[in-house]
Amino acid sequence: MKLSFLSLISCLVVLIGCQSQVNNTPDTLPMKIAKAYGYDQLDEVQSISYTWNVRRDSATVMVRDWKWDLVKGEVSYSDADTSVTYLIAEKTDQLKEVDHKFINDKYWLLYPFQLAWDKGYTTEITENQNSPINSDPTTKLTIIYNNEDGYTPGDAYDLYVDDNNLIKEWVFRKGNAAEGRAFTWENEKDFGGVKIALDHRMKDGNKVIWFTNVKVNKK
């Protein structure tokens, strides 16, 4: 997740796209998306708790419970076999597997805010793009992470964003591969000014990721 030479490429016509370094100022598209989901309300949030669920072929195959204390930097995790609490700043090698799960699940829940929190990525913007599942008219924002940081460096996300700067669908492309997996972003709920899309599904419906027991606790 780091900056690259893409920032030196000037913006071409919008149908081709625009590539730039991440710039977390209010007028950039990543920050507009973060703000549309309630980024400005996060200073009032103490903790967020949620259950991450995965269903494949009509069978629920994963259920993970989380509580993230944003103020303390503390994560609590439990599943059918494990229960652990740790401080993000003090995580050990033994906790890497759990922390990897935390990062993965948090990206699904709070990715609009990762656009403000993350630093090591570049962007490409392409106007007038139909979303891959529902063919909604959108702007495509591509996020390309560097090859150095995080658990899965070099990954890319194509975000299909509507006129209200809300994500309608996204495509995850591992290692910035040409093809990836498209999921919807739907069933948005407002938790005290923080918007969260609770449901994500693939086009064929064979895989669904959804959140339950979501609580946003204020200070």
Give me the CATH number covering residue 133. Answer: 2.50.20
CA atoms within 13 A on the CB side of 44: 10
**Model confidence, pTM:** 0.87
Name the domain count of the chain: 1
Can you tell me the distance from the alpha carbon of 87 to that of 35, in angstroms, rounded to the nearest whole number?
Answer: 27
Which residue type occupies 141? L
User: For position 149, what pLDDT does the model report?
Assistant: 74
Q: How far is CA 213 from CA 14, 49, 53, 166, in A?
A: 41, 7, 11, 22
- What six digits make up the tokens of 141? 């924002």
Q: Kindly report, residue by residue over 80-119, the tens digit of the pLDDT.
A: 999 999 999 999 999 999 999 999 999 999 999 999 999 8
Q: Domain limits at 45? A: 5-218
Percent of the chain at pLDDT exceeding 90: 78
Q: Kindly report, residue by residue over 5-33, the tens digit of the pLDDT.
A: 333 233 333 333 444 445 566 689 999 99
